Each structure stands twice: as C-alpha cells, then as structure tokens.
Amino acid sequence: MFADEAVSSAMTIRRVWHTPFQFEALPARTPRRTLVWLQVDGSLTLRGESSRERTIGPPSVFFPTPGVPLTVRSTAPTARIEIEIDDIRRGSDGRPGEHSRTHDVAPPIWLSVVGMVNAILNADAALAPRVSTLASMAIEALVDALRVEWSTSSEPLSSPGDVLVEKALSLIHVGAADPELTVRGVADSLGVSRSYLTRLFRQRGLSPRSTLQRERLVLAQRVRARHPSISLAALARAAGYPSARALREALSDERSVRDGGETFDDL
C-alpha cells in the first residue's frame, strides 16, 4: 500500500493505492466527522453496517457509516481518494448509514474534487496558511455538492417528504454563509410553501429556522477557530449574518433554548 496525505484542522485528504488485499477499516472515528471515498481506479468490494456486499468502481462516491467497521476487499490494484472532514451539520442530516453512487461518466463535481486533491498533494511545497484555508473551504463545498447529488439521485428514500427534507438540509448546509438565504428561499427553491416545509421538518423533530441558525453558529465557531483574531463583525459576515448584533442575538437565542450539551460560549 502507498498513501500520501495532507492534514489541516478541518480535514484530512489522502490518496491511497494498493495491490490486491483485504482489510477492516474503522471510518471516521467520530460521528462528527464525515468520510468520503472517491474510487479512481480498480474496484473494491465493501461489506459494512448492512452486512451486504457492494462493489464500487471508478468513478464512484462512497460515504461509509462513521465508526462502523468496514471490510474492504480487492482482487486487483486499486486507487482512491479519501477525504475526512468536519461535519458541521453534527448529525442533523437525518440519514445515517452507508451510501454509494457509481457514475457511467465522471461528473464535473467528482472531477473537481479529484483534481483539487491531486493538486494539493502534488504541490512541491506546503501551501501558505491563507491558501490552505481557501482550499479546505473549496473542498468542503465540493463534498457538500457531492452529498446533494447523492441524496437526489441514489437509493430512494421512504417518502417524497423525506426527499424534500434531505434537499432542504443540503441547501441549508451549503448556503448557510449566504446572508440572503432564508427558510422561505429554501422552500421556494424546492417548489413548496414555507409552512409545508416546516411541517415536514417537525415530523423529524426539527425546525428549518433553527436548523439554519445552528448551521450559521457552527460555521461561525469554525471560522473563529481558524482565525482567532477576527473581528465580531467580520465573523458575522463570514457566517451569513448581516451584522455583529444579529450574530449576538442568534447566540443568545441558542443559549436560551439549550439546557446543557453543546454551547457556543467560545465565540
């Protein structure tokens, strides 16, 4: 086996090549980390949480279940790209488990992820901190786009309502940094009313408004961790808030409704 990787505070990217073999992996040690595999050469036979085998070949995308042992087998040399990334949705996507999709032709998003990872790993020198941060954010956005594509075109969900909620969660996750994004805007993008979307979320014990707010607060927490000296006004803009006051109010609302558990005191 041969592997090279690059590690940042938010993600790890690696490129893996190996000869025929079988092994057990424990993907993404915590549910707050997402692991995605992009198969670029050869085929892998996988058996994980569902105990059924599936085979992926290029160009494939595979999302293993966090923390669940995964048996991997190959009968010929293979190569893949792995991305382990912070999941700022923190388990709110409502659809845990293994999922994969194989394309007939490599789509632009898949090619963009592979190209960017290869460019970083092929660089002759370490990236400057600012460039590294921008590259990480770009890869995060591309992985989100892969998730959107996967959720709208892979294994069917249990109902049309589930599909709409999945799409809404993806839109919120991808667009949280945009201050123009609203719950009504998400509903309009999906061709439904705000009240209908809210009703679908409530069936899962969620609220689209609070989901969007929490996405932005987690995003603010991540930006602050990467840039400790950032001003509150700049932090608010980076997290999709129109002003520092709006960020403070959202933070106050979040603290008032949470009794223990995660907080955002370090913002």
**pLDDT over threshold 80, residue 13:** yes
Structural domains of the chain ordered from first start: 2-153 (2.60.120.10), 160-257 (1.10.10.60)
Q: Tens of pLDDT along 116-132? A: 888 888 877 777 776 77
Least confident stretch, 17-21, 73-77, 158-162: 158-162
Mean pLDDT score across all residues of the chain: 77
**pLDDT over threshold 90, residue 221:** no
If pLDDT is split at 50, 70 and 90, which confidence band does 194 have?
Answer: very high
Per-residue pLDDT, 142: 79
Per-residue pLDDT, 50: 59
**For the residues 89-103, what does the mean pLDDT come to?**
50
Phi, psi of 126 (to 5 degrees): -65, 145
If pLDDT is split at 50, 70 and 90, which confidence band does 152 have?
Answer: low
Per-residue pLDDT, 66: 64
Q: Tens of pLDDT along 35-87? A: 888 999 888 888 766 566 778 888 888 887 766 677 888 888 899 999 887 66
Q: Tens of pLDDT along 129-142? A: 767 777 777 787 77
Nearest to 62 by CA among 122, 53, 135: 53
Cβ–Cβ < 8 Å for 79, 44: no
Quickly count helices (H) and strands (E) in the chain.
8, 10
Cβ–Cβ < 8 Å for 201, 162: no
Per-residue pLDDT, 91: 38
**pLDDT over threshold 60, residue 230:** yes
Per-residue pLDDT, 254: 72
- Cα dihedral 141, 216, 262, 163, rounded to 10, equals -60
